[in-house]
Structure 1
Amino acid sequence: MLVLAILFVLLSAGGLIGYGNQALRFEPLPKIVNVPPGTHLRSLSGILEREGVVGNAQVFWLMGRVLGKGGTLKAGAYSLDRPLTPLELLDKIERGDISQATVRFIEGWNWREIRAALAAQPLLVNESAGMSNAELLRAMGAEASHPEGLLFPDTYFFSPHTSDIKVLRRAYRLQQEKLMAAWEKRAPGLPYRTPYDALIMASIVEKETGAAFERPQIAGVFLNRLKLGMRLQTDPTVI
């Protein structure tokens, strides 16, 4: 039985080596494949099958496993501008040979966490290093006096060696677009003077509770207090 098991592995490895060195056929060229942060070999195989790059995700995954490939995959947008073999494709993603990289701003992050995420991305040029918040806000084109809540939480793609300030500008402009769209649809009679006032309230409500079903009630309590000229009396640790 042991001999048969070894023979099966050898035959499988030989077939998978042949598969790994056979050019993939996919169209159109170039094809852009986005690899999100945290992608592993099995999830990458599924992405490639859905994008039409490989015909069978299971075979691609098995090849990587048997041949010891795909252990460390780099996130980013990969431009496939010529037919590649499965092994060439895995090498490309392991090297991080990308046309675009990514940085992610997670909902609920504060300004310190956002700046730390930018500084930790090696493919960004960290032009904001050493800049004060006020200086950085001016560089972003923001008129606000405080940076919290100004950036839209999302995954941002960028070309290697892009300035981190350029990414911040994009996140700021996207947040402004979303905020203005919501402001134009606001209900009448709300006690907010500016879209930023509404954003501050939304941030406070979000920090007050992690349960989505509680937020309308909490927002209603705060709105009534504002209309009556009362203090919000929110937990100071959430602001």
Structure 2
Amino acid sequence: MRRFLTLVLIIFCAFGGAAAWWLHQPLTVRSGMPAAQPLELAIEPGTTPRGVARDVIAAGIDTDVRLLYTWFRLSGQDRLIKAGNYEIPPGTTPRQLLQKLVRGEEALRAVTLVEGWTFRQFRQALAREDQLKPDTKGLADDAVMARLERPGIPAEGRFFPDTYTYAKGSSDLAVLRRAMHAMDRRLEAAWAQRSAETPLRSADEALVLASIVEKETGRPSDRAQIAGVFSNRLKAGMLLQTDPTVIYGLGEKFDGNLRRRDLLADTPWNTYTRAGLPPTPIAMPGKASLIAAVQPQQTNALYFVAKGDGTSHFSPTLDEHNRAVNRYQRGQP
């Protein structure tokens, strides 16, 4: 082997032009491999430069492993190659390959966690990502929070909805941890901007109210006024009487049709039967709902009803609200 490397070194030195030509030629794909698709290359932590060269060949590149390893050595960057999951697209040259490995330009995937989703929906979305390592599979929600070093903290509402990139083989716990820390930052920033007139006593209460606003908002322009209605009700000691909390409390029993008996079925989240805010958020609120919860619009409205076009009609009195319900929900003049 040493004699071969010495020979290759001599060749590289004596035939510098030829070596430079090879470095800029696309690496060929081994027969039987999909030539038009990127090859997947996984480099484990602790892999030696010679092992990296072997991994490249194993991924489907058709070249001599000793030649590739010698190039790594001659570059002076062989010890800078980073572990990770990479893609080798068609047309990649030996020089480009080494640059990618030294820079750690891993192949990234993305998963989008949507505003208004519950934690259960979050977990389902992560489970559908076949490139994510399912470390939370089979764990109860409280066990997941324990793994995230938040034992005893309810999972609902604690993860910020956004698009998160990850490398193939990453843990779903890593994505959840990033989303959790993102919500920590967003909630802290929102609470620091709270209105002096807010009836909310803590950032946790702001998170709960924001989740309700998120689920009640049909159009973004109504978000702050909806928050204003709920703030007025909290100040007045009125029941919040918001359907999304009832639906959340029903869990898997909810069949898509909210009935009167459901409004009367007491659960910790039923704001028709229990005063104040529910014990936990009911969904994952986005930034706009967090801000609306702590900076509600100043309004005299105590009621609102969906108009059927995505907007809401707001009313200061029960009589006006009942007329709006008849008009928009029952089709009565």
Please indicate, yes or no, whether the TM-score normalized by the shorter chain is above 0.5.
Answer: yes
Counterpart check, 1:230 vs 2:219: no
Counterparts of 2:138 and 2:157, CA distance in 1? 21
Among 118, 134, 139, the alignment partner of 1:110 is 118
| Contact 1:104-1:153 within 8 A present in 2 as well | yes
Q: Deviations over 1:63-122 (max 9, x none)?
A: xxxxxxxxxxxxxx977899749xxxxxxxxxxx96222221111211121111111111
Secondary structure, in 3 states, of the residue corresponding to 1:156?
Answer: strand
Q: What residue number does 2:229 align with? A: 221
Distance 1:144 1:231, change over 3 A: farther
Distance 1:192 1:141, change over 3 A: farther
Largest Rg, 1 or 2: 2
Moved more, 224-233 or 97-106: 97-106
| Contact 1:105-1:155 within 8 A present in 2 as well | yes
Q: Could you state the TM-score of these two structures normalised by the residue count of structure 2? A: 0.42
Q: What residue number does 1:92 align with? A: none
Q: What residue number does 1:59 align with? A: none
Counterparts of 1:84 and 1:160, CA distance in 2? 20
Q: What residue number does 1:135 align with? A: 143
Cα offset, 1:193, TM superposition: 2.0
Q: What residue number does 1:53 align with? A: none
Distance 1:167 1:186, change over 3 A: same
| Contact 1:141-1:169 within 8 A present in 2 as well | no
Distance 1:144 1:202, change over 3 A: farther
Q: What residue number does 1:120 align with? A: 128
| Contact 2:126-2:132 within 8 A present in 1 as well | yes
Q: What residue number does 2:212 align with? A: 204
Q: What residue number does 1:45 align with? A: none
Distance 1:211 1:194, change over 3 A: same
Q: How does 1:1-239 map to 2 (within 5 A)?
A: 84=92, 99-142=107-150, 145-235=153-243, 236-237=246-247, 239=282
Counterparts of 1:78 and 1:232, CA distance in 2? 51
**Stretches of 4+ moved more than 6 A in 1?**
77-83
Cα offset, 1:154, TM superposition: 1.2
Q: What residue number does 1:89 align with? A: none
Q: What residue number does 2:74 align with? A: none
| Contact 2:159-2:176 within 8 A present in 1 as well | yes
Counterparts of 1:105 and 1:138, CA distance in 2? 21
Distance 1:197 1:133, change over 3 A: same
Taking only the aligned residue pairs, the percentage that are identical comes to 42
Cα offset, 1:165, TM superposition: 0.7
Counterparts of 1:144 and 1:210, CA distance in 2? 33
| Contact 2:112-2:164 within 8 A present in 1 as well | yes
Question: Aligned-pair RMSD on alpha carbons?
Answer: 2.8
Q: Deviations over 1:123-174 (max 9, x none)?
A: 1110101111111112123356322221111111112111111110010001
